[in-house]
Structure 1
Amino acid sequence: MTGAGLVLPPQDQQTPPAAVLRAPGDQPLGEALTDMQLLLEQHGHVIAVYPSGIPAAHERRLHTVRSVLESDRIALLKSDLPPLGVAVLVRQLRQLSICDFSAGVIASAARLLSHYIHAGALLNSVTRLDRVPVGLKSHAKSWVPGSQFAVLANPEPQLIRVGTGELAGPRFATHLLVARGQSQSEWVTGTLAPGWQVGAVHEAVLPDESPGWWGTSKLVEFAAFLPDISLIHQLVSSVRREACTWCGNELIGDRCGLCNAPLNPPESRTRGPAALNP
């Protein structure tokens, strides 16, 4: 991970911890290379997941480390999920890391599992929100000051003004993770959670990256997710495994999670009954 706020506490005693890959301003390149080399020696592979909103210098650092070490055992997975959704995804990958999957399958599973994370936020303002393509700019001026807006960024963008509609939620059993910013609203726990029929609500600390991602600090971020590791394991297992034609590692889906090469030829792309088509 690229930030400590993106590391959620484990749900059980078996889930391994996550390592934080620090920004260039917090760590010289030499130390970053040493830390990465140590992680590779200890674990064999490193799967680094980071949100699309991190500073460009931090992203360049990740690619520099991978390039200098010339290692195909380092996967760099850039996610368009909001920060809390990224944190949920990383915890699920941590859970999968102790299962009977290769590093290539786990890295490729990130794209699959992202489809099953419903990530959004309750916002007091959408004037600076530019990461959800739902035509906010053209409509913001017509909304009444003081309104609250519920926005879903993943898996499909949605926007409603609270009190005038409902967010379409998951059609499968989930738990809801909630992280509060500078908003005291109970709409997420009092209205959204019952409406989505979630099995449980869990509180988390708001990631440092969240106000920048959503364009305001007056928010309550949320993410609905599959809580059962056995179901996640079954979901990943349902997808046919292929060998990457570039690096030779196992993959699922249509792109290698370790080297990012597409599965070739296209005719050989095979998917499981539910995976990749939630």
Structure 2
Amino acid sequence: MALPAQDECTMPAVLLKDLDQQPLEQSLDGMQTLLDRHGHVIVVHSSAAPAAVKRRLHTVRSLLESNRIALFQPDLPPLGIAVLARQLRQLAFCGIDPGVLAAAGGLLTHYVHCGAVLNSVTRLDRVPVGLKTHARSWLPGSRFGVVAHPEPQLVRMGPEAALTGPDFGSWMLVAKGRLDSDWVGTTLAPAWNMLGLRTAALPAESAAWWGTGKLVEFCTYLSDALILYRLVTAARRSVCHWCGIDVIGDHCVFCCATPPAYDQPVREGHTAPE
């Protein structure tokens, strides 16, 4: 799902549609065109995407033998992934190096809170569900407030229902499925002191991710591109020892290399273990 740009400084998204249905040659040609046009490609996709789509992405990257394609699958619900992808599009306009931009996704996941209001948790396997809560899910009219990231939370809806949110200024994005509930906008957003609230269409993978189509999904995020830029540029940088591009931390998202493990020097007076 590609969210609409918030300003003129947000780069447009490219949707890779029907990867599991189109001929392999078409997928290869499309990716090669993107590489020729932009130099590097960061593919952000959901864990709820069909297995055939994931296989096709890895096949395309392997056949093109390209270290300029980064496959990024954040451990977030679909709406959170859509928000994160838009944040990367905001940062792409700022001229950040490709390796740093690709690694920024992992950094920015710490600043999003993702959850949903569900009518049932019987098929929810992304958040721990107790036996008593599971049994209550069968009662007519039951609804549950869930936070999947950054820390799992699950409460049954009621007058005292409360979820812990971010302790910094954030915006909230809400996407309604087939559940009639205004609890997120009227109760949760004010309790979390949101700076504002926006709405979006429900991502296609949300029903599969949450285990039900009767839901209202929400996600909090930082919307200011300047704040995002400062967070990313303040992070420790290093140079990938394999492909030579700048990265955040030690892991390169493009070539997937990690720092080599060197033998530790033996200090004087000590013997090396056999």
After TM superposition, the score normalised by the length of structure 2 is 0.91
Hey, what's the Cα distance between the residues in 2 that align with 1:137 and 1:115? 30
Partner of 1:205: 201
137-146 or 241-250: which moved more?
137-146
Judge conservation of contact 1:121–1:150 (CA < 8 Å) in 2.
Answer: yes
How do residues 190-229 of structure 1 correspond to structure 2 at under 5 angstroms?
Answer: 190-229=186-225
For each residue in 1:61-89, what CA deviation from the matched residue of structure 2 results, as whole angstroms up to 9, or x when unmatched? 00000001000000001121100000000
**Equivalent runs, 1:101-180 vs 2, <5 Å:** 101-132=96-127, 134-137=128-131, 139-142=133-136, 144-163=139-158, 164-180=160-176
Alpha-carbon distance in structure 2 between the residues aligned to 1:131 and 1:254: 28
1:248 aligns with 2:244: yes
Structure 2 alignment gaps of length 5 or more: 263-274
Map 1:39-118; keep pairs closer than 5 Å.
39-118=34-113
Deviations along 1:123-181, whole A, 9 cap, x unmatched? 0100011112x234563114543221111111111111112431100011000000000
CA deviation digits over 1:214-255, x for unaligned, max 9? 011110000000011100000001111101122222111342
Give the match's secondary structure for 2:227: helix
Q: Name the CA shift for 1:69/1:201 in 2 (closer, same or farther; >3 Å).
A: same
Equivalent residue letter for 1:227: S
Q: CA RMSD in A?
A: 1.5
Q: Distance in 2 between matches of 1:207 and 1:91?
A: 14
| Misfit runs of 4+, over 6 Å | none
Alpha-carbon separation, structure 2, partners of 1:222 and 1:174: 12
- Output the CA distance in 2 between the equivalents of 1:20 and 1:137: 40
1:105–1:257: 8 Å Cα contact kept in structure 2?
Answer: no
Find the partner of 1:188 among 184, 189, 199. 184
Question: Could you list the runs of 5+ residues in structure 1 that have no partner in the other structure?
Answer: 1-5, 267-278
Bigger Rg, which one = 2
The alignment covers a number of residue pairs equal to 260
Report what 2:269 is aligned to.
none
Kindly provide the amino acid, as one letter, of the partner of residue 204 in structure 1: A
The one-letter amino acid of 1:115's match is: H
Identity of aligned residues (%): 53
With the length of structure 1 as denominator, give the TM-score of the two structures.
0.90
Residue aligned with 1:113, SS: helix
